[in-house]
């Protein structure tokens, strides 16, 4: 289970019987090629990728803008989801690349599951 979902399970369980729950994926819609995102994630920087492609959007068909390695400093900005699937992507800044490289990385390629903040 990704940590973003683990964090909300207790809260959802507490209100599940009191209120109807409606989940919306519109806040985390997929990012077309050429899409950037603002920095909504205030978490600590992480060294969590091992040769992951940073892309111009949240699809493997989008252009590769750089590569994030385990020794790089990665600043997460937010995440997005591909349709109603469980596939999520994090928009991040790699400040170890020269110059800084911004791009989308699939969350299953980030050892901690990526950003917790929706775009």
Domain boundaries, the chain: 24-109
- pLDDT of amino acid 67: 93
pLDDT at 45: 78
pTM for the whole structure:
0.74
Give the separation between CA 71 and CA 73, rounded to whole angstroms: 7
Whether omega for the bond prior to residue 12 falls within 30 degrees of 0, making it cis, is no
**Per-residue pLDDT averaged across 53-64, rounded?**
96
Q: Which two tokens stand for residue 92?
A: 């991040």
C-alpha span between 87 and 81 (Å, rounded)? 6
Alpha carbon distance 31, 119 (integer Å): 9
Give the three-class secondary structure for 98.
coil
State pLDDT tens for residues 76-112: 999 999 877 889 999 999 988 778 899 999 999 998 8
Q: Are 101 and 55 in contact (CB under 8 A)?
A: no
Question: Residue 7 has what pLDDT?
Answer: 44
4 band by pLDDT with thresholds 50, 70 and 90: low
**Residue, of 8 and 55, whose pLDDT is higher:** 55
Q: Please tell me the predicted confidence (pLDDT) of residue 109.
A: 94
pLDDT at 19 (0 to 100)? 34
Give the model's pLDDT for residue 16.
36
CB 75 within 8 A of CB 45: yes
Half-sphere exposure of 49 (CA within 13 A, CB side): 29
Note whether 92 and 54 are within 8 A (CB). yes
- What's the pLDDT tens digit per position in 7-43? 444 433 333 333 333 333 445 689 999 999 999 998 8
């Amino acid at each position: 289970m990704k940590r973003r979902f683990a964090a909300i399970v207790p809260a959802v369980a507490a209100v599940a019987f009191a209120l109807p729950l409606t989940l919306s994926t519109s806040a985390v819609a997929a990012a077309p090629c050429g899409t950037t995102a603002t920095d909504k994630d205030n978490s600590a920087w992480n060294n969590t990728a091992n040769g992951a492609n940073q892309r111009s959007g949240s699809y493997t068909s989008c252009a590769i803008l750089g590569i994030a390695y385990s020794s790089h400093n990665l600043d997460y900005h937010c995440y997005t989801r591909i349709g109603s699937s469980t596939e999520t992507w994090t928009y991040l800044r790699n400040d170890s690349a020269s110059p800084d490289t911004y791009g989308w990385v699939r969350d299953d390629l980030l050892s901690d599951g990526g950003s917790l903040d929706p775009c």
